[in-house]
């Protein structure tokens, strides 16, 4: 299986919330140990920046040191688009996007997603009655997702 992009997004760290980095560290290590060749992008914002130990574990870091209140609750679109652009420019054909504090427990999830043969799978907080498509778990063709 070729390298897959992994966007860890929706991370905001206010002053005093540095404990979130311990959770992100666990998530990154967990995914690195999954027998998958990941290209990991960590995207977030806040005055507390990721420590060196985390920066050294990811392939690319997108971090805005200014807390962006308008991104919270809206899906962090700017950070996600920038992450997808990086992966697309890096030649990554398939991408999985998760919240930075989420991880996959079952290694068979990725082969199952690939076997769907769809351009994209979007899940989490989707409501057709509210015309709202959730974006906390997305898998698909990197170029398609970045449109």
Q: What strands, in cross-sheet order, belong to the sheet with 38-45?
A: 60-64, 38-45, 4-12, 94-99, 137-141, 120-123
Residue 70 is predicted with a pLDDT of 66
**Which is more confidently placed, 82 or 74?**
82
Model confidence at 123, pLDDT cuts 50, 70, 90, reads low
d(CA 97, CA 8): 6
Contact yes or no for 101/27 (Cβ under 8 A): yes
pLDDT digits (tens, 9 = 90+) for 31-55: 999 867 899 999 998 888 899 999 9
DSSP labels, 46-84: SSSPPPHHHHTTSSEEEEESS--GGGTTTT-HHHHHHHH
pLDDT digits (tens, 9 = 90+) for 82-114: 999 999 999 998 898 988 988 888 878 777 777
């Amino acid at each position: 299986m070729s390298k897959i992009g992994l966007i860890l997004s929706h991370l905001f760290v206010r002053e005093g919330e540095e404990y979130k980095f311990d959770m992100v560290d666990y998530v990154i290590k967990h995914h690195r140990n999954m027998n998958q060749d990941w290209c990991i992008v960590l995207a977030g914002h806040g005055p507390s920046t990721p420590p060196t130990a985390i920066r050294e574990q990811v392939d690319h870091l997108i971090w805005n040191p200014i807390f962006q209140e308008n991104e919270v609750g809206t899906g962090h679109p700017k950070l996600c688009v920038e992450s997808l652009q990086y992966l697309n420019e890096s030649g990554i054909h398939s991408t999985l996007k998760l919240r930075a504090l989420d991880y996959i427990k079952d290694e068979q999830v990725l082969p199952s997603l690939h076997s769907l043969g769809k351009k994209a799978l979007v899940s989490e907080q989707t409501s057709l009655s509210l015309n709202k498509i959730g974006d906390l778990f997305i898998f698909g063709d990197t170029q398609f997702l970045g449109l």
